[in-house]
Amino acid sequence: MSTFSDFGPLTERRRAELKQKQRKRMVLAGSSVFVVLIVVIAGVAVLSRQPTHEASKGSGSSGKPSSNNAPSTTQMHAISKSVEVICSPTDYKDMCVKSITKATNTTSSPKDMIRAAVSVIREELGNAFSVSSLLKSNDSRVKQAIEDCNEHYENVKDHLASTLEGIDMHKLDDLPTRSHQFRVWLSAVVSYQETCIDGFPDGDLKTKMEKAMKDGKELSSNALAILAKLSDFLSALNIKIPGINRRLLSEESAHPELDEEGIPSWVSDEDRRILVGKVKGNLKPNVVVAKDGSGAFTSINAALKAIPKDYEGRYVVYVKEGEYDEQVLIPKKMANITMIGDGSQKSIITGNKNFVDGLTTYKTATVAVMGDGFMAIAMGFRNTAGAIKHQAVALRVQSDRSIFLNCRMEGYQDTLYAHSLSQFYRSCVISGTIDFLFGDATAVFQNCIFTVRRPLDNQQNIVTAQGRINPHETTGFVLQKCKIVADKALIPDKAKIKSYLGRPWKEYSHTMIMESEIDDFIHPDGFLPWNGDFALKTLTYREFNNNGPGAATAGRVKWPGYKLVKDKAEATKYTVTNFLHGEPWIRPTGTPVKTGLYM
Q: Which amino acids are annotated catalytic?
A: 414, 435
- Secondary structure (3-state) at 389: helix
**Which long-range contacts does 485-490 make (Cβ < 8 Å, 24+ apart)?**
485/449, 485/450, 485/451, 485/452, 485/519, 486/451, 486/452, 486/519, 486/521, 487/431, 487/451, 487/452, 487/453, 487/454, 489/453, 489/454, 490/452, 490/453, 490/454, 490/461, 490/521
Query: DSSP secondary-structure letter at 264?
Result: B
Backbone angles phi, psi at 405, to 5 degrees: -120, 125
Proportion of the chain in helix, strand, coil states, percent, rounded to 5: 35, 20, 45
CB atoms within 10 A of CB 200: 26
Question: Are residues 218 and 94 in contact, defined by beta-carbon separation less than 8 angstroms?
Answer: no
Task: Provide Rg for the chain, Cα atoms.
Answer: 25
- Secondary structure (3-state) at 26: helix
| CA of residue 548 relative to chain centroid, distance | 30
**Which long-range contacts does 176-183 make (Cβ < 8 Å, 24+ apart)?**
176/230, 176/231, 176/234, 176/241, 176/244, 177/241, 177/242, 177/243, 177/244, 179/227, 179/228, 179/230, 180/474, 180/581, 181/581, 182/118, 182/227, 183/224, 183/227, 183/228, 183/472, 183/473, 183/474
SS (H, E, C) 60-123: CCCCCCCHHHCCCHHHHHHHHHHHHHHHCCCCCHHHHHHHHHHHCCCCCCHHHHHHHHHHHHHH
For 136, half-sphere exposure in the C-beta direction (CA atoms, 13 angstrom radius) is: 0
Nearest to 366 by CA among 395, 402, 388: 395
Rounded Cα gap, residues 169 and 17, in angstroms: 8
240's CB contacts (< 8 A; 6+ apart) are 173
CA dist 406 → 12, 182, 251, 447, 584 (Å): 37, 29, 24, 10, 21
SS (H, E, C) 287-319: EEECCCCCCCECCHHHHHHCCCCCCCCCEEEEE
Q: List, in sequence order, every residue forming a beta bridge with 172; answer none if it has no partner.
A: none
Angle (CA) 429 434 438, round 5° = 65
Nearest to 582 by CA among 594, 570, 569: 594
Rounded Cα gap, residues 99 and 78, in angstroms: 17
